[in-house]
Amino acid sequence: MGQLRIGTSGWNYPTGRGTWTGIFYPAADTRPKRFDELVYYAERFDTVEVNSTFYGQPRAEVAASWVRRTPPGFEFSLKLYRKFTHPEMFKQAAVPGLPPGAVPPDVLDELARVTPADLDAFRRGIDPIASAGRLGMLLAQFPPSFKQAPATVAYLEWLLRAFDGYPMAVELRHGSWSDHLAGTLTLLNGFGAAWVQIDEPKFLFSIRQNELPNVPAAYYMRLHGRNAAAWWRHAAAEDRYDYLYSADEMDGFARTIDAAGRLVKKLYVYQNNHFAAKAPANALMLKRRLGLPTPGTYPPAFVERYPELASYVAVATPSPASRTSS
C-alpha cells in the first residue's frame, strides 16, 4: 500500500449555516483561550487541501506560520491561484462592483493574462512549505467550462511546464477531456501529473473517469458530495456541499483507494463536502475503513450528529463552563 493521507478541503468554516464551530470544533464559548483551528485539525489529520491560495496569491509569512503550527510530517496540498485556472472568475474579482461593460474586454483580458511575475509570486509564497518538505501536491482545478481544444491543451501544457519540479494534480471536469482520453493521458503522463479523480453530481457534460491511477508517483481524489439539486441552484454557495456520504458509499471509496494504493507511491484523498463538518466526518469514516488511526477527541455534538463515529472516535469531556451553561 502506498503512503495514504486523508483530510479535508480547508479547515476554517467559521460562519454560515454550514459552520464547523460547535460541531467539529468546540463551540465558541467553550474554547480555551487562543484556540487555533489549524493546530486542532492537525492533531486529528495529517494533511489538508488549502483553498485560500485559490482566492489570492499565497504569502510566505502565512505559509511559514502554517508550517510552525503543524507537526513534522503534516502535508499541505495547495490549490493554484484562480488567475491560473479561472480567468473569468479572476476578471470578476478584479473589478468588483462595476456594472458589466464598464471595463473594456481587452483591458480585462490583459488583467487576466498570466505573467512570469505571477508565477514567481506563487512560488515565493509557497516556498516555506516546499522547503520544509511539507508540500503534498499543487492542485490545478479547472472549471467545467474548460473544454478540451487545441488552445486549452496548449495552455495546460504551458502551465504544467511552468510548475515543472512540483508534484502536480490536475482536476478537469468537462467530458471532452475523457472523450479524448488518449490525448489527455499523454499530456498529463508526460509531466507526471496526477489526473484528479472527482466524485460529484454527474451531468450531461460531466467528465467520466475510471478511478484508476494514471501515474505511479501519486493518486489524488476529491469527494465533493452528490447534492445534485443544489449544485447549480442554491441560496448560498455552501449549500452545494451539503451532502453526507453513506456507509455504503464510503465502503466503495475504501475499496477503490485500497486498489489504487497497490499501484502508486502516495495517495491523497480530500473530502470537500464541508457543510456542517460533513467532510471531517466522512474523512474519519474513510480512515477507519482503511485501517488508519483516528486520534484526538471530538465534541459530543459532532458524534451525536454523525453517530457512526461513536464506535471509533473519542468524545471530549465537556468543560466545567460548558456543563454549567447547559
Residues 95-139: tens digit of each pLDDT: 877 777 778 888 888 888 999 999 999 999 999 999 999 999 999
Q: CB-based burial of residue 289 (10 Å sphere; 0-12 exposed, 13-18 middle, 19+ buried)?
A: middle
Query: Residue 50 pairs with which residues in a beta bridge?
Result: 78
**Cα separations in angstroms, 189 against 44, 53, 192, 257:** 33, 25, 5, 20
* pLDDT band at residue 320 under the 50/70/90 scheme: low
pLDDT score, position 101? 75
* pLDDT band at residue 324 under the 50/70/90 scheme: very low
Cell of 187: 499530456
pLDDT score, position 12? 97
pTM, two decimal places: 0.94
Q: What is the C-alpha separation between 42 and 237, in angstroms, rounded?
A: 26
User: Interhelix angle for 116-131 vs 60-68, to 10°?
Assistant: 20
Domains in the chain (CATH in brackets) are 3-57+137-325 (3.20.20.410)
Residue 85 has pLDDT above 70, yes or no: yes
Residues 155-214: tens digit of each pLDDT: 999 999 999 999 999 999 999 999 999 999 999 999 999 999 999 999 999 999 999 999
With beta carbons less than 8 A apart as the criterion, state whether 121 and 57 touch. Answer: yes
